[in-house]
Structure 1
Amino acid sequence: MKICDSIKYVGVDDHEIDLFEGQFEVPNGMAYNSYVILDDKIAVMDSVDAHFGEEWLSNIAGVLEAAGGRKPDYLVVQHMEMDHSANIKAFTDKYPEAKIVGSKMSFNMMKSMFGTDFADRQIVAGEGTELELGAAAGDHTLKFIAAPNVHWPEVIMTYDVKEKVLFAADAFGKFGANDYDDPEGWACEARRYYFGIVGKFGPQVQAVLKKAEGLEIKTICSLHGPVLSDNIKYYLDTYNTWSSYGVESEGIVVNYTSVYGSTKKAAEKIAEILKAKGCPKVALNDLAREDIYECVEDAFRYGKMILATTTYCGGVFPKMREFIEHLTERNYQNRKIGLIENGSWVPSAAKGIVAMFEGSKDITFAENKVTIKITMTEENEAELEKLADEMLK
Structure 2
Amino acid sequence: MDFTLSAEQQERYTQVRAAARELTTGPGTTTFGENLRKELAGLGLLGAAVPAEYGGAGYGALDTALLYEAASDGGADTGLLFAAAAHLFACVRPVLEFASPRTRKTLLPALCSGDLIAGNAMTEPDAGSDISRLTTRATRVDGGYLLDGLKSFVSNGPVADLYVTYATTDPDGGYFAATAFAVDRATPGLAAGEPLHKSGLTACQASEVRFTRCFVPDDRVLGSPGQGQLVFQTSMLWERSCLFALYLGQQERLIRQCVRHARQRQQSGKRLADLPPVADRLADMRLRLESGRLLLYRACAEIDAGEDSTLWVALAKLAVSEAALATALDAGRIFGGRAFLTEYGIEEHLRDAAPATTFSGTSDIQRQLIAREMGL
- TM-score if structure 2 supplies the norm length? 0.29
Larger Rg: 1
Structure in which a larger fraction of residues adopt strand: 1
Structure having greater relative contact order (Cα 8 Å, sep ≥ 6): 2
TM-score normalized with structure 1 length: 0.28
Greater helix share, structure number: 2
